């Protein structure tokens, strides 16, 4: 388990990507982003785990389905691209879309997608 300081730094590192992807700070607040940053983020130093948690926080409805907010996907993909230096092949995005459209979202399969692309 990561220290609180490491997790805090990683959560704050994703913030500029969220701000850039969403453009509208009101929408980010509506989705509870600041609660995620300050209270709900995982205790991890793994950027993939943090990115998935951020995506689930910003992009999932209460019933576990994707809310269709593409900016949430854009933010975490941009964050992981910058963090790892890796970029998914365009055809991999069809797989990601299919995972997000699974009802409810299967977090294990979603994590497997991110790990296969970014590790």
Mean pLDDT in the chain? Answer: 94
Q: What is the pTM of this model?
A: 0.93
Instruction: Using CB atoms within 10 Å of the CB of residue 22, give its burial: 0 to 12 exposed, 13 to 18 middle, 19+ buried.
Output: buried
Phi, psi values for residue 44, rounded to 5° = -145, 150
Residue 110 scores a pLDDT above 70:
yes
Confidence band, pLDDT 50/70/90 cuts, at residue 1: low
Question: Does the CA dihedral 109-96-48-70 come out positive or negative?
Answer: negative
* % of the chain exceeding 70 in pLDDT: 98
Question: What confidence score (pLDDT) does residue 95 get?
Answer: 96
Question: Taking the domains of the chain in order of start, what are their residue ranges?
Answer: 4-118
The contacts found for 35-43 with CB under 8 angstroms, 24 or more apart, are: 36/11, 37/11, 37/12, 41/7, 41/8, 41/11, 42/7, 43/1, 43/2, 43/3, 43/4, 43/7
d(CA 77, CA 86): 10
What does the pLDDT look like over 19-67, one tens digit per residue? 999 999 999 999 999 999 999 999 999 999 999 999 999 999 999 999 9
pLDDT at position 3: 73
Predicted confidence band of residue 2 (pLDDT cuts 50, 70, 90):
low
């Amino acid at each position: 388990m990561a220290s609180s300081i490491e997790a805090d730094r990683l959560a704050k590192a994703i913030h500029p990507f969220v701000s850039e992807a969403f453009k509208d700070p009101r929408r980010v607040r509506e989705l509870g982003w600041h609660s995620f940053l300050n209270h709900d983020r995982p205790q991890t130093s793994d950027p993939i785990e943090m990115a998935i948690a951020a995506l689930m926080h910003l992009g999932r409805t209460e019933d576990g389905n994707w809310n269709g907010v593409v900016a949430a996907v854009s933010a975490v993909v941009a964050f992981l691209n910058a963090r790892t230096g890796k970029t998914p092949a365009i055809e991999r995005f069809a797989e990601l879309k299919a995972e997000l459209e699974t009802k409810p979202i299967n977090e294990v399969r979603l994590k497997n997608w991110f790990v296969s692309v970014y590790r």
